[in-house]
Amino acid sequence: MHPETSPEIAIPTALPRAEPGVHRFVFGGVAFEVSTAPALRWELSGDHRRFGAPFDEGPVAASVRVAATSMSALGHTPREVIYAWADGAARVRTNGLQVDVRELAPRSFAASALVGQQLGDCGSLCTALAGALVDRVGGLVLHASGIELAGGAVLFVGPSGAGKTTAANHCAGAQAFARDRAAVYPTAAGWFTAPMAGGDEIELPDSGRRVLPLHAILRVERAGAVGRIDGCDPVGAVRVLRESAQLGARDRDGEGALLDRLLAIATQTQVGIVHTRLGEPLVPTLLPFVRRSPAWT
Amino acid sequence: MDLSTRVRQAGRVAARVIDGKAVIVVIDTQGLHTLNEVGTFVWERMRSGPHEAATLVDAVTEEFEVAPEVASRDVVEFLERMTTVGAVEVEEASP
């Protein structure tokens, strides 16, 4: 006789009580455990806390030790996030911080960070490191808003002004999930996504705080007459995804690998173009398309 | 550019053929370009190294239903566009 198992019964909004100087949270699909030096007072900013999640939901884990240093000791650091993986290790550099990270096991990382003392929270560190780790595990970060629908996520992508947030706001009855960026990564159970903070202040109550199966990625366009969704062929899907991917500098091999990754997303998830009409509820248009997703159960 | 011009795939590009269409990323401009079936055929021909435009025209006329003069015009125009976007380089004539 085997003991019966049942889904875990959890209180999803409660975080484990942190030891002093240890912060545990999920951001961008990465379960962070950040240990800070005693002299360093560091907290998640409100924006990042809103897009955090309980500690046990991250499919990628990172243990980060953080120490403070003077900005001058860091030397010039770039505004954009720069990193390159080699032999399972990378140095991630961006404005006012530098992180040396190495892969301990698949999807498990240890990192040592030096941050300029004037940085007041760990948002920049989380954003930079999550992007590098998601890249390492075969995913990428998309500029996207998104909603939770039927147990999965629908991401809206497109250039600035395309109407990503407007599309999310036209999904009455669905919970907001991401407002500007989302990490997308492969798992044994298919493609998953997690929200990341960023973007202009827009009121999206009840943010999902979740890591969800990825139902669909939709490029937003304004409709002429009738709201609808057109599925993309693989080439069109790669074009849509690359347009919205947050990319670092890559060489020829890196660009080729990125094309392979985009093609994998394109063929293993639903990618389409949603033609939205102002004021027209979007969920009835989304549902038939989303039901064709491999993540639909 | 004319039929005697020698061309090759540029060094800083990444490309994949997806559903019979080449998708090309020019690294320095981050431009993404998609080719049709004939363009993909010419692009794949250039993988083996530099080619004279005329040999690419000959290959196109052998493979597709097209008059030589039309193929000549179209292939040269295609190569000029590909050169403009940085996906193709013209090989300088050796002295």
Per-residue pLDDT of chain A (297 residues; tens, 9 = 90+): 444 555 555 544 444 445 667 878 888 888 888 888 766 666 666 666 666 666 666 778 888 888 877 777 777 777 788 888 899 999 999 888 899 999 999 999 999 998 876 655 577 888 889 999 999 999 999 999 999 988 899 999 998 888 898 898 888 888 888 888 899 999 888 999 988 876 554 444 444 457 889 999 999 998 777 778 999 999 999 999 999 998 776 788 888 999 999 999 999 999 999 998 888 888 999 998 988 887 776
**B16: domain range?**
6-89
Residues 86-125 (A) with a CB less than 8 A from some CB of B: none
Q: Please give the single-letter amino acid code of residue B60.
A: V
Q: Give the residue from chain A lying closest to B12, CA to CA.
A: A252
Asked if A118 and A261 touch (Cβ cutoff 8 Å), the reply is no
**Which residues in chain A have their CB less than 8 angstroms from residue B32's CB?**
238-239, 242-243
- A41: how many CB neighbours lie within 10 A of its CB? 11
pLDDT at residue number A1? 46
Quick check: B16 and A256 CB within 8 A? yes
User: Between A238, A247, A253, which is nearest B23 by CB?
Assistant: A238
B3-50: pLDDT as tens digits: 899 999 999 999 999 999 999 999 999 899 999 999 999 999 999 999
ipTM exceeding the 0.90 mark: no
Is residue B40, in this structure, part of any structural domain at all? yes
Total number of domains constituting chain B: 1
Quick check: A252 and B19 CB within 8 A? no
Smallest CA–CA separation between A277 and chain B, in Å?
29
A80 touching B (Cβ < 8 Å): no
pLDDT at residue number A71? 72
Distance CA A96, CA A123 (A): 12
Q: Which fold has domain A140-290?
A: Phosphoenolpyruvate Carboxykinase; domain 3 (3.90.228)
Is residue B95, in this structure, part of any structural domain at all? no
Domain boundaries, chain A: 22-136, 140-290
**Which residues in chain B have their CB less than 8 angstroms from residue A250's CB?**
27
Sheet holding A89-94, edge to edge: A22-27, A30-36, A60-69, A108-116, A97-105, A89-94
- Residues β-bridged to residue A233: none
Quick check: A235 and B19 CB within 8 A? yes
Distance CA A46, CA A121 (A): 10
> Residue B20 in 3-state DSSP?
coil
Q: Full-prediction pTM beyond 0.95?
A: no
Q: Name the residue among A156, A204, A184 with its Cα closest to residue A51.
A: A204
Residues 207-266 (A) with a CB less than 8 A from some CB of B: 233-235, 238-239, 242-243, 247, 250-256, 258-260, 263
Is residue B50, in this structure, part of any structural domain at all? yes
pLDDT at residue number A12? 46
Burial pattern B66-77, b for ≥16 Cβ within 10 A else e, equals beeeebbebbbe
